[in-house]
Chains A and B, each alone.
Chain A
């Protein structure tokens, strides 16, 4: 195996950790509150921007900025769920999609109006973390920050796993995700559970945003691609599965870094194509099952719903 290929494989796996963090929030909202928050990527950028302001304009140390922004974004998640998403959800399944798409456009252009189009990064403020790393045998180089991100992803998913399995909130979340009506009957306040889920999702988005700002440049319009990546990780890993987001993130990261050995353009396309392939496979599988197996699918023409 050539050096660059091996390097791409390792970087891809580590990048998957970042995607898992962003995807876990999206997945939680989708699984518990039952809608896809199309502004998830823009909220991630908002978290990054707030941290950048705290560091650059207020001169705060990075750790303090991160420790402030994450709970702040969690509070915003709680508030938006209460004031905006609840109303949208009550009006049917279409409205949350429309509302969060509008919210995303509002956030992007609001941040652009406030902060301008300059690219910003936390990279200059985190000392040697942004470039330090280990040289391994075989020409392999592993950066400290990607390793840290990946470790953080495992820790975050592990904590979420424990929270969901062991705590009263986790039980309430699982019950609500399975059947909101039945959960209400057994004394769970579904609306509070939804708000808590939104708070966790927003906190994870903020964490993702800070990590993104540490390794890359962030602009007000950087959100939509992050949403798409998170969505891809969720779908590839299997919707509703916590550890699946890590697998999905790693598959997406691998597709991107392997595609990246050809060109930046191929890198993005590779990720998208893996998603479409997974969705296509699932559609075909369901279609085949609905018609009694693959052989039948090949014989019968036209969709089964006819």
Chain B
């Protein structure tokens, strides 16, 4: 009779990881052949994946539904504007800004993570509004007008496009790889225990606060990075867009359609959002209406999202973060 033990990673998962690695190499080489427009779209997709992975970490794995992640998207953009103004090159500023935002998120976590579920959701939204209001006092931002990172225009357009594309690719893959390592480790088990039953998790010795804070700060930095990448391609920073609720609506859509609390869900959702945007983006408000309605429909009819549907068919979730235990044989 053998002791129960953790099962190794299923073969399908190994194959999936290998093909993801191959895809990554292909994507890195793509600018050699692909037209500029396609590269721009893929840059955007990378930012979407990054955002969705962050929101899924919060809501799907730590049970923290934030309606205010735009606080960090906007703050990231603003920090980059300020760093460039202080004389830093745009690309060093792009990378440094998320760390500054993490420094803001760390003390903030002490306060917001002690709020109850719904209070946390809206308090984050209010905090985003406060950040927006404060940033608008900065004479550099000029209220609603916003400001442009003119230093970006000094860089040759093709070089800039390539650099932002590669950065977005690195950011999205790092977010996926990082959360994979994080969730496969002790923290992932702890986070999922908290999400499923906080009191029970605490009673078996999980430090619920420490786990949540780590995820909260990581997600803040990730959203800030999405904000700086976005700013690098859009050049203009406007408080209304940077701190807009639409960021959270998109994150909600991607995570819900892809599969809340599944590892691949955010990627599937990001691809779906990108596809819908390409097909229907010209319809403006009606496109956004559809995005909202689809989120609601998925939440009600298919709460596991597309990955959940796939898992139900196949009998197991691809790249599941749940540990599987063998029943002791004998």
Chain A residue nearest in CB terms to B293: A106
Contact B202 A113 (CB under 8 A): no
- Residue A103, interface by CB 8 Å: yes
Contact A102 B296 (CB under 8 A): yes
Contact A279 B291 (CB under 8 A): no
B residues near A235, Cβ cutoff 8 Å? 119
- Residue B134, interface by CB 8 Å: yes
B residues near A101, Cβ cutoff 8 Å? 67, 248-249, 252, 295
Against A, the Cβ 8 Å flags (1 = close, 0 = not) of B238-274 are: 0000000100110011001000100000000000000
Expressed in whole angstroms, the Cα–Cα distance for A279 and B110 within the complex equals: 12
Contact B292 A103 (CB under 8 A): yes
Contact B296 A272 (CB under 8 A): no
Contact A305 B208 (CB under 8 A): yes
Chain A residue nearest in CB terms to B301: A87
Stretch at the interface among A53-61, A89-97, A188-196, A211-219: A89-97
Contact B295 A276 (CB under 8 A): no
Contact A228 B129 (CB under 8 A): yes
Against B, the Cβ 8 Å flags (1 = close, 0 = not) of A185-228 are: 00000000000000000000000000000000000000010011
Chain B residue nearest in CB terms to A268: B133
Expressed in whole angstroms, the Cα–Cα distance for A112 and B292 within the complex equals: 13
Expressed in whole angstroms, the Cα–Cα distance for A268 and B295 within the complex equals: 30
What is the minimal beta-carbon distance from A28 to any residue of chain B, in angstroms? 14
Contact of B121 among A38, A232, A279 (CB under 8 A): A38
- Residue B186, interface by CB 8 Å: no
Chain B residue nearest in CB terms to A114: B285
Main secondary structure of the interface of B (DSSP, over half): helix
* With known contacts A84-B296, A232-B126, A305-B209, A109–B285 Cβ distance under 8 A: yes
B residues near A38, Cβ cutoff 8 Å? 67, 121-122
Chain A residue nearest in CB terms to B59: A94
Stretch at the interface among A146-154, A242-250, A280-288: A280-288
Contact B126 A99 (CB under 8 A): no
B residues near A110, Cβ cutoff 8 Å? 285, 289
Chain B residue nearest in CB terms to A116: B285
Expressed in whole angstroms, the Cα–Cα distance for A181 and B64 within the complex equals: 27
Expressed in whole angstroms, the Cα–Cα distance for A94 and B58 within the complex equals: 12
A residues near B137, Cβ cutoff 8 Å? 265
Contact A306 B133 (CB under 8 A): no
* With known contacts A98-B65, A228-B126, A305–B207 Cβ distance under 8 A: yes
Contact B119 A276 (CB under 8 A): no
Expressed in whole angstroms, the Cα–Cα distance for A91 and B119 within the complex equals: 19
Against B, the Cβ 8 Å flags (1 = close, 0 = not) of A241-285 are: 000000000000000000000000100110011011001100100
Contact of B210 among A88, A228, A306 (CB under 8 A): A306
Interface residues on B, range: 35 or more
Residue of A112, A272, A273, A306 with most chain B CB atoms under a 10 A cut-off? A272
Contact of A287 among B114, B207, B296 (CB under 8 A): B114
- Residue A35, interface by CB 8 Å: yes
Contact A99 B130 (CB under 8 A): no
What is the minimal beta-carbon distance from A296 to any residue of chain B, in angstroms? 17
What is the minimal beta-carbon distance from B94 to any residue of chain A, in angstroms? 28
A residues near B134, Cβ cutoff 8 Å? 269
Residue of B65, B110, B208, B284 with most chain A CB atoms under a 10 A cut-off? B65
Contact A279 B303 (CB under 8 A): no
Against A, the Cβ 8 Å flags (1 = close, 0 = not) of B88-117 are: 000000000000000000000011001101
Main secondary structure of the interface of A (DSSP, over half): helix
Chain B residue nearest in CB terms to A106: B292
- Residue A6, interface by CB 8 Å: no
- Residue B170, interface by CB 8 Å: no
Against B, the Cβ 8 Å flags (1 = close, 0 = not) of A23-38 are: 0000000100001101
Chain B residue nearest in CB terms to A287: B114
- Residue A127, interface by CB 8 Å: no
Contact B295 A109 (CB under 8 A): no
Chain B residue nearest in CB terms to A225: B129
* With known contacts A269-B130, A272-B126, A97–B256 Cβ distance under 8 A: no
Against B, the Cβ 8 Å flags (1 = close, 0 = not) of A98-141 are: 11011111111110110000000000000000000000000000
Contact B126 A275 (CB under 8 A): yes
Residue of B67, B117, B248, B249 with most chain A CB atoms under a 10 A cut-off? B67
* With known contacts A93-B117, A98-B65, A268-B133, A228–B292 Cβ distance under 8 A: no
Contact of B110 among A106, A107, A273, A303 (CB under 8 A): A303
Expressed in whole angstroms, the Cα–Cα distance for A98 and B254 within the complex equals: 12
Contact of A105 among B118, B129, B249, B260 (CB under 8 A): B249
Expressed in whole angstroms, the Cα–Cα distance for A107 and B133 within the complex equals: 25
- Residue A231, interface by CB 8 Å: yes
What is the minimal beta-carbon distance from A35 to any residue of chain B, in angstroms? 7
Contact A273 B130 (CB under 8 A): yes
- Residue B136, interface by CB 8 Å: yes
- Residue B123, interface by CB 8 Å: yes
8 A-B pairs with the lowest CB-CB distances in the bound complex, closest first: A105-B292, A106-B292, A102-B295, A36-B118, A109-B289, A109-B288, A102-B296, A112-B285
Given contacts A101-B249, A106-B292, 10 further A-B contacts (CB under 8 A): A88-B300, A97-B118, A105-B249, A106-B296, A112-B285, A113-B285, A228-B129, A269-B134, A272-B133, A305-B208
Q: List 21 A-B contacts (CB under 8 A).
A: A91-B303, A94-B59, A94-B63, A94-B65, A95-B303, A97-B117, A97-B121, A98-B65, A99-B296, A101-B295, A102-B292, A102-B299, A105-B295, A106-B296, A108-B288, A231-B122, A269-B134, A276-B123, A279-B123, A305-B207, A306-B207
